[in-house]
Amino acid sequence: MKGKKELPYGSIVALVTPFDKYGRVDCKKIKQLVGWHKASGTVGIVACGTTGEGATLTDAEKRLVTETCVTAADGEIFVLAGSGSNDTAKATELSRELSKTGADGLLVVTPFYNRTNADGLFRHFESVADAVDLPIMLYNVPSRTGCEISFDVAKKLKSHPNVAGIKEASGNLSFAAKIATLTDENFSLYCGNDDLILPYLSIGAKGVVSVWANFTPTKVAELLTAWQVGDVERARKIQLRYLDFINLLFAEPNPIPIKTLLNMAGFNVGLPRLPLGRLSAKTRQELKKQVLGLGESLK
């Protein structure tokens, strides 16, 4: 194995997957979005994650989306490919395939539905990590999967040369703080909850994997930069100013609100795939009110 490559500091966007009017992956739109993020302070892209509707993309589509992101990134920003599954054999094989796309790393979620125990969870991630020569970001999001990476499992996994960090999206700051005790130059903590970016940074997070950054990437990048240079007050003001807006992005299952908002803003990223439905009229109006109140533009 080549060993780990360092994960970047800053704002990593959990990129939406745009679809055309026929529901097919829109590669032209992906390239436009990645180009916009490159110019907006975003340091990385997650392709085919939760926000990217990885659960309803075929393996061929995941490869296409990842390859398109890699081409558009052109080595200027980091690309992580979502390669998780609740089937260890599938996650391992998909990770091998996506590692051939030129992606810089992999985002691997805990098994969902069948959930597993501590032994199975460790061996699941170990199988993927043994199969590739890329840095892996573990993904802890128990509200989605019903399965949590425990402190003990995380501690055991961090010794693997290809496990480089964790996207911690439990929303439990106490648990995140315990995970933060594991961080060092070889294992990084990333915030997975946009409403908690600043608290996570305060306990040692290296950055955020952000849904919010799909809409205002410069603001998320500004928050991370402000913290990095010691301007805590500026970072605090950005976090709190956008807090109500962030909460609305999760008022209905992600990525329904963010895709709707991007369409309202003229990005034309298409509808989410079923079983994700359309955003309710009430949440749509609340989002519009929030956005305009923040001085952001809609078409």
Spot the catalytic one: 139, 190, 200, 242: 139
Asked if residues 56 and 16 have their Cβ atoms less than 8 Å apart, the reply is no
Cα distances (angstroms) measured from residue 162 to each of 6, 8, 91, 188, 252: 10, 15, 15, 12, 35
Q: d(Cα 191, Cα 35) in Å, to the nearest integer?
A: 24
Question: Catalytic annotation on 167?
Answer: yes
Examine the residue annotation and report whether 9 is marked as an active-site residue of this protein.
no
Q: Report how far apart the first and last C-alpha atoms of the chain are (Å, whole number).
A: 49
Work out the number of other CB atoms within 10 angstroms of the CB of residue 104: 19
For 129-184, the DSSP string reads HHH-SS-EEEEE-HHHHS----HHHHHHHTTSTTEEEEEE-S--HHHHHHHHTT-B
* Catalytic residue (one of 4, 62, 158, 167): 167
**Burial (CB count within 10 angstroms: exposed 0-12, middle 13-18, buried 19+), residue 114:** exposed
User: Residues near 2 by Cβ (< 8 Å), separated by ≥ 6?
Assistant: 133
Q: Which residues are part of the catalytic machinery? A: 139, 167
